Amino acid sequence: MWNKDFLLGVATAAYQIEGAATADGRLPSIWDTFSATPGKVLHGDTGDVACDHYHRWEQDVDLIASLHVDAYRLSISWPRVMDAEGNPNRKGLAFYKRLLKALRERGLKTFVTLYHWDLPQHLEDAGGWVNRDTALRFADYADLVSRELAGLVDAWATLNEPWCSAYLGYANGHHAPGKQDIVFATQAMHHLLLGHGLAVRKLRANDPGAQVGIVANVGRGTTNGGSAADRRAAELFEIQHNNWVLDPLLKKQYPAALWELWPGAQPMALDGDMDIIGAPLDYLGINYYFRTNVVSDGAHGFTEVPLAGVERTQMGWEVYPQGLYDLLTGFKRNYPQLPPIYITENGTASDDKVVDGAVEDPQRIAFLSRHWTAVDSAVKEGVDIRGYFIWSLMDNFEWAFGYERRFGIVHVDYATQARTPKRSAQLVKRFLADRARRE
């Protein structure tokens, strides 16, 4: 797996690291609004400053390059590059041009995500992703950004984790904009995927030298129940978590079993929508973190039943590398049109502290090693996997959990903005230096 063509990179997202929430014409996003709402984010944290990457980007590019990684995955802040009328914000665009050029100069490949959850608030005020017009506005945004940044991007991703945007944002309210209606969620998902398909056309036209894909978070569902209903519950978990996104993209249809779970929640779709959504992809990004154990709820769904005695991360998520292997090999079997895969996020949160100038993070080191083994096993089973991105480059704003949960291989002191590579970062650097010498 670890040949010169297999990429190892690190990843971040704009709202989680940039800060500078009102600088240079940036407009409010739904996460600015959500995190400023009391009770929505742990400790009342916001992304107003975050890692101050907007002002410290040169230092951070040096940091990335020092790790000897092959690639950097980042996202564009939609409210930083367009005004409410859809006109370009030149100062915001200039920031990304400088950043991408500097990354290229350091020999790093650039993987750029257009939408990592920071919808402009003015679009949410008009209905957000429940409103079909937002998909059209997203295509306009993709058109602008890909024209401006053409030639500076190796691989575009339209969306990051549309499941989270739709379900966490519109069904259970854990994420911005905090709505709680499954009908809103299924309609939002349809418009997210429609926006993806419309954006694919713009990206291919404006930047034909770049790859075009999308990033999906996937979850392994298992059961410790012994009944057929329990086994069906585990299947339904994966259908709503994985197939809800992947079937439209790769089969041009929603899985019928979704409506067992959510009767009456079918989205309104127009003729031709599924052909737009199912536009061919150059790659599929896969984000994986944990598995979920479920049993039947006694009706037509599932109930989560956490397993006892298993290893868990600071997030409370079970460490289960086997789930990544199971999903990757399963996707190869179930999707004849499966494009090449990049693992675009995989990592763990731990309560890391600087002690005598060093940060020891043994759980993360073990987590990464075991998941790399799972990826290698999937490659040996014939799954076409082209690269792996560690989440995350550095500790950052972890959405509804604020700054308490630390995913970075680089520690960030939020009071001073000091960056301290953790032991995991040092080992990644050493591994890649050794690989370069072998080649």
Q: Where are the domains of the chain?
A: 7-438
In the three-class reduction of DSSP (H, G, I as helix; E, B as strand; rest coil), residue 185 is classed as: helix
Under 8 Å between Cβ of 247 and 254: yes
Closest CA to 330 of 197, 241, 227, 228: 241
Torsion of CA 237, 39, 314, 322, to 10 degrees: 10
Is 293 part of any known ligand binding site?
no
345 noted as active-site residue:
yes
Is 289 part of any known ligand binding site?
yes
Is 16 part of any known ligand binding site?
yes
DSSP 49-93: STT-HHHHHHHHHHHHHHTT-SEEEEE--HHHHB-TTS-B-HHHH
Is 335 part of any known ligand binding site?
no
What CATH architecture applies to the domain 7-438?
Answer: Alpha-Beta Barrel (3.20)
What confidence score (pLDDT) does residue 4 get?
A: 78
What confidence score (pLDDT) does residue 72 get?
A: 98
Contacts of 40 (CB under 8 A, 6+ apart): 34, 176, 178, 400
What confidence score (pLDDT) does residue 434 get?
A: 85
Which is catalytic among the residues 148, 161, 238, 318?
161
What confidence score (pLDDT) does residue 1 get?
A: 72
CA distance 220 to 194: 26
Q: What is the chain's pLDDT, residue by residue, as a tens digit (439 residues)?
A: 767 789 999 999 999 999 999 999 999 999 999 999 999 999 999 999 999 999 999 999 999 999 999 999 999 999 999 999 999 999 999 999 999 999 999 999 999 999 999 999 999 999 999 999 999 999 999 999 999 999 999 999 999 999 999 999 999 999 999 999 999 999 999 999 999 999 999 999 999 999 999 999 999 999 999 999 999 999 999 999 999 999 999 999 999 999 999 999 999 999 999 999 999 999 999 999 999 999 999 998 999 999 999 999 999 999 999 999 999 999 999 999 999 999 999 999 999 999 999 999 999 999 999 999 999 999 999 999 999 999 999 999 999 999 999 999 999 999 999 999 999 999 999 999 888 877 7
Between the CA of residue 161 and those of 67, 76, 196, 312, 389, what are the distances in Å? 26, 15, 12, 22, 15
CA distance 394 to 311: 23
Under 8 Å between Cβ of 118 and 159: no
Is 391 part of any known ligand binding site?
yes
CA distance 404 to 393: 16
Which is catalytic among the residues 18, 148, 238, 345?
345
Is 96 part of any known ligand binding site?
no
Copy the structure tokens of residue 298: 């006694």
105 noted as active-site residue:
no
DSSP 367-433: HHHHHHHHHHHHHHTT--EEEEEEE-SB----GGGTTSS---SEEEETTTTEEEE-HHHHHHHHHHH
